Amino acid sequence: MATKVIVNIPGEESYDVRIGASALDSLGRRMRGVPALGQAERALVVTDSNVAPLYRDRAKESLAAAGFRTSDIVVPAGEDTKSVEVAGELWEAMAQLKLGRDCVVVALGGGVVGDLAGFAASTYMRGVTLVQAPTTLLSMVDSSVGGKTGVNLAAGKNLVGTFKQPAYVCADTGTLATLPEREWTCGCAEIAKSAVIDSDEFFFWLVDAADALAAREDGAVSEAIARSVVFKADVVAQDKTESRGVRECLNYGHTLGHAVETLAGYGTFSHGAAVAEGMRFAARLGAELVGASADFVTAQDDLLDALGLPALAWSAEPAALLDAMKRDKKARRGQVRFVLPRDVGAWELLDVDDAVILEHLDAWAR
Ligand code: NAD
Ligand code: MG
């Protein structure tokens, strides 16, 4: 059975996120129900080299059946594709295809495709309609909702981008059957992050559902996605452009997580494994600085374990980790800012002194 979440962000058209085991088959029909797409003639599917052989034809058939004239562009799979160069290739290809302002771009794939195609859609002819069709758990629970698009520069990830809300999001959970385990747990880490920040209700539901989720049972998967989307949409609705300090809660676990990812060398640990490690660290820092309880720290550890995100075996020089955290674009005025949980559903943003961070890293990272 399919679930629908309606995303309502002030100042934007509201949009539906459809979550279900064969949502891709009704993609075209549902898009026709979106006012901006009722009359659209052409749809461009942007996808990557892993996803294209698996799901491109189904997406295109659904679009064609709804009367869209379809084209597709396949980009190489992988983070390197989120570049200015590939964005430029997309713009050129769109112009070659003579796509006009009334076309729609359908991003079919993970967060890489979503961010890249979203960026191209929001800039080509000053912006054409975007539909997200996420095929990774991470993109279903996180990147396809909220409107951030972007590409990486040599100087860092996501340094160029736009805010562009999609007109429709089609999360076909059936596509997750082919997702590699490593990518699966990346999505689980973002779900766990959302649950800890959101509420007791979400957190304890997830604790109960963790085994079913790890076994990829569709009911649990769909509900975890729906709950995460509701959570993210609510945060984004309060802080659409990340200017009010609310959206920063989505960065929970990412402060140390990004540093771990960078220092270990991109690809050594998955993003999710690194974020989970960052959550474990932030919870302990939270216990020291904002009064999180030992029970909370243990409950979060247990949840991450159950979701297939065990503590990492790694070590790093605390000074190097601190340095990497300071180079992150989210660091402020030379101090590292952490999202620190006080408890499930309660958090604070805190600029933490170097000496305190180093002391904790010393105990944690060796
Ligand atoms: P990804 O897009 O690289 O996908 C991971 C891998 O899975 C790729 O190799 C892809 O080809 C493959 N794949 C995708 N769907 C598949 C399927 N159904 N079956 C088999 N293989 C499949 O990575 P991701 O984790 O989805 O996204 C990460 C990106 O998202 C990063 O660039 C990150 O910066 C971005 N992101 C953006 C936001 C946002 O708000 N815009 C939020 C979080 C992350
Ligand atoms: Mg993340």
Half-sphere exposure of 297 (CA within 13 A, CB side): 18
| pLDDT band per the 50, 70, 90 thresholds, residue 86 | very high
CA atoms within 13 A on the CB side of 12: 25
Distances in whole angstroms, Cα of residue 274 to Cα of each of 190, 252, 253, 306, 327: 11, 12, 8, 16, 17
CA distances from 211 to 164, 217, 272, 284 (A): 35, 9, 18, 25
3-state secondary structure of 85: helix
- DSSP state, 244? S
For the whole prediction, is pTM greater than 0.90?
A: yes
Q: How confident is the model at residue 239 (pLDDT cuts 50, 70, 90)?
A: confident
The rounded Cα 342 to chain-centroid distance in angstroms is: 24
Tell me the pLDDT band of 316, cut-offs 50, 70 and 90: confident
d(CA 152, CA 44): 23
CA distance 103 to 262: 38
**What spacing in Å lies between the alpha carbon of 253 and ligand 2's midpoint?**
8
Sign of CA dihedral 209, 215, 219, 222: positive
- Positions marked active-site: 126, 148, 190, 232, 242, 247, 251, 254, 258, 271
What is the number of the ligand 1 atom nearest to the C-alpha of 271? 25
Q: Name every residue whose Cβ is closer than 8 Å to that of residue 14 and which is 6 or more positions away in sequence.
A: 6, 7, 8
Whether 274 contacts 280, CB under 8 Å? no
For ligand 1, residues with CB inside 6 Å are 48, 50-51, 54, 77, 79, 82, 109-113, 115, 135-136, 138-139, 142-143, 146, 148, 157-158, 175, 178-179, 183, 186
Best residue among 17, 75, 138 to mutate for probing ligand 1's pocket (most ligand atoms within 8 Å of CB) is 138
Q: What is the pLDDT of residues 95-139, one digit of tens each?
A: 999 999 999 999 999 999 999 999 999 999 999 999 999 999 999
Q: What is the Å distance from ligand 2's center to 330 Cα?
A: 13
Tell me how crowded residue 205 is: count the other CB atoms within 10 A of its CB.
16
